[in-house]
Structure 1
Amino acid sequence: MSWFALVLPLVTTIFIAVMLYLMPSITRPTLPLGVSIPQERVGEPVIGAAVRRYRVGIAIALAVSVALTFIFAAVSPVSAVIVPIFVLLIFSFSSYWLARTSIQRAKAAGHWYQDVPVRLSGTLTATSTHASTPIGWYVASTLLLTAVAAVGVSVYDSLPETLATHWNAAGVADGFATKSVWSVFGPLLIGLGMTAFLFVVARLTGRIPMRRVADYGAEQQLAMQQLMQQLVGQITLVIAALFAALSLLAWYAPHNVGANLAVGIVGPVLLFAVIVVFLVRQRRIVRQGAAVVAAAGVSGAGTSAGSLPSTAHRADTPDDDRFWKGGMIYLNRDDPALWVPKRFGVGWTVNLGHPGGIAIMTIPVLIIIGVVIFATISPN
């Protein structure tokens, strides 16, 4: 058994499980498990019970997935990576679905939104305040990929006629292709394409008006958008570095097991680290907003523009559960907003009822198809 075939899926599985376990604490209190509720119902016992059941389900799913990792690592390293994560996601989603159903039933039976004042807050017209796109991350990504491409051009003639294009979980090259422009520069071209796409998405995210909910203040909303901009930029640079490293490995050290394993470990660890830092900073913003609400509620004083009003004087966000499929996918053809805050998770998601949302979701699929085609080039 390769230690890499055991450690990588274990680390990945545990990280995903921890993220899912913490998700109810990261999302807004008025959206427990993706169900919209009035602010006055945040402390309902049924919600706490549902969240506990969800987390018990995550813990059970993790235990099963870890056991499967040890079983498959001894017989099939590829299965050790795929099967436990697949099982974890299936069990976790089932736990999520069952737990949120209990909240929905209590909400419907108790008519929680009856006589509750609601207000849909949104910025659907041009404003002078936008989240700035940290262009430095994308410039660094482009320069890195371009520099590696220049190296590839300089060594192209000296490269062997057969190049490694895939490595197994043990770090051993097991896929090869005849030398060509695509086999040599394909990963770099894909990396450049993803960099351009993520930059466009980030730019649109910062410039296109977004839906703002009633229980988010303007300052809190802007801080969240800036944080998301940083996250996308950092992920872009990590992805570019991975594609650059894979290209260099294929050219200089296709059979260096240690180097291949190092890239396989460092890449996911960097992505995990970026996401963890984002979650810590995001949680801090949410808590700061909650502190403003609490302070305003105690003082009973009015609030200035951009701050959060007290709970007693705030309208709730309208109940729009019918537009959210499973609390995760938003589809509303009558909503002019392209970007809306996620119901379960952090950041924003696209409105699939908007033509622009369909386009944004289609492009990554095409990129993934290109990656798959490159990775499955028939070996010689």
Structure 2
Amino acid sequence: MNVVLIIGAFDFGITAMVGAVLQFVPRSGLSSPSIAFGVRIPPDLNDDPVILRQRRRYGGTLLVITSVVSLLAGLAGALLDSAAPVGVGVAVLCFAAAALWARAHRAVSQAKDAGNWYGDLRQGVVTDTSLRTSPVRFPWWWTIPSALIIAVTALAGVVVYPDLPVTLNLPRYSLGETGYLEYPTTVWSAFGLVFGQVLLTVLTAGMVVLVLRARPELDPARPRESAARYRDYLGGTARAILGIATLLDLMLSGLSAAIWSGNRSGWLLVTIVGVPVAASLAVAAHLVLRVGGGRRRVSMADAEAPTGFVRRDDDRHAMAAGLFYVNADDPAVLVPSRVGGGWTVNLGNPRFLAGVAATLAAAGVAAGILALL
């Protein structure tokens, strides 16, 4: 009974946390103050009645949906004795948030066109060349915890491997239940999650490298202030990404230990997965609430009088309610995202398209080789 309650609480808690994160996505503190529901706007119109009304509609409707879906996910998890309902609940919340976002985007875009918001405003762009000559450094120290976790897990696996049974029970998740399948004990089946840790850490480090070289969102009205804020934001984001990777590596270590020991305890599985996932969401929430959008205060030395310029209206490159960015003339691969904050890829960049094609080709070749073995 206690395990059932724990699983139900897990489903309810994770679903509610995701809903809470989605609540803050359209807030101006997370993204640029010149973006409202994916629409580029003059910063002084961020509190326009149309925008405020859409924020209230988005937040209020999503709050009701989150409450209902979280409760249903918790009840389903307890009745089915499974953590699977949390996936369904999160998917429903994401779909609902996307629909509400699209409705608000359309309303703000129509108000912008009808009111000619940009009118005779002076539009401009600004760049900070010091981001190339003196870039924000990669926080190597933040990769040490992940490296230690992987090393300890691999060493533990090497120690227990000779005593493992001839088959291992690996979990198989499906809607409403968690089952187990038996696989022959090999290096791949026993150390699969360890290899996953290595891949996760490498990919995360690569993501941080790309983020540190992404095109910044700088304010032409206060270029020096926005550059200082962006550097602060960049450093905080890089550390948060590596911190989340550490938590996920810890989760994979726990799952490896459960597989090697043959422990199928439901509460243990929920703890191994739930604690790191909840901590990762907390780190993400801290990032968007405390660091979000690079809007922290800067020192008096960086303060400056406004130049009178506003960010350039570039809505023509934003697709799908601001979710995607397509601009073949923009050399940047990563560009500021219009949804919540952070960055998104430039789907029109030839280098990105070539990289995706090469990755898919390599994956196809690898799958073909494995199928022939």
- Name the TM tier (shorter chain): 0.7 to 0.9
Match of 1:111 among 111, 116, 121: 116
Cα distance in 2, alignment partners of residues 155 and 70 from structure 1:
37
Question: Is 1:7 equivalent to 2:9 in the alignment?
Answer: yes
Q: Where does residue 232 of structure 1 map in the other structure? A: 241
8 Å Cα contact 1:211/1:337 also seen in 2: no
Q: Where does residue 21 of structure 1 map in the other structure? A: 23
Q: Where does residue 145 of structure 1 map in the other structure? A: 150
Q: Which runs of 5+ in 2 are unaligned?
A: 365-373
Write the mapping of 1:1-380 to structure 2, written as runs, cut at 5 A. Answer: 2-25=4-27, 26-70=30-74, 72-73=76-77, 74-75=79-80, 77=82, 79-123=84-128, 127-166=132-171, 174-206=180-212, 208=213, 210-214=215-219, 217-283=226-292, 286-288=295-297, 307=303, 309-310=305-306, 313-325=307-319, 326-358=321-353
Q: Normalising by structure 1, what TM-score?
A: 0.83
Shifted more, 316-325 versus 139-148: the winner is 139-148
- Whichever residue aligns with residue 10 of structure 2, its letter is L
Moved over 4 A (4+): 123-126, 167-173, 358-369
SS class of match (1:112): coil
Q: CA deviation at 1:362?
A: 8.0
8 Å Cα contact 1:46/1:103 also seen in 2: yes
Cα distance in 2, alignment partners of residues 321 and 125 from structure 1:
28
Q: Deviations over 1:280-332 (max 9, x none)?
A: 4215952526xx8xxxxxxxxxx96x54542xx33111111121222122121
Aligned length: 353
8 Å Cα contact 2:210/2:334 also seen in 1: no
SS class of match (2:40): coil
- Whichever residue aligns with residue 36 of structure 1, its letter is R
Taking every aligned residue pair, what percent have the same amino acid on both sides?
24
- Whichever residue aligns with residue 348 of structure 2, its letter is G
Cα distance in 1, alignment partners of residues 262 and 152 from structure 2:
18
- Whichever residue aligns with residue 238 of structure 1, its letter is L
Q: CA deviation at 1:77?
A: 3.1
Q: Which runs of 5+ in 1 are unaligned?
A: 293-302, 370-380
Cα RMSD over matched residues? 3.1
Cα distance in 2, alignment partners of residues 260 and 50 from structure 1:
41
Shifted more, 154-163 versus 125-134: the winner is 125-134
Change (3 A) 1:198 1:253: same
Q: CA deviation at 1:361?
A: 6.8
SS class of match (1:127): helix
Change (3 A) 1:124 1:201: farther
- Whichever residue aligns with residue 112 of structure 1, its letter is W
Cα distance in 2, alignment partners of residues 52 and 309 from structure 1:
33
8 Å Cα contact 2:84/2:177 also seen in 1: no
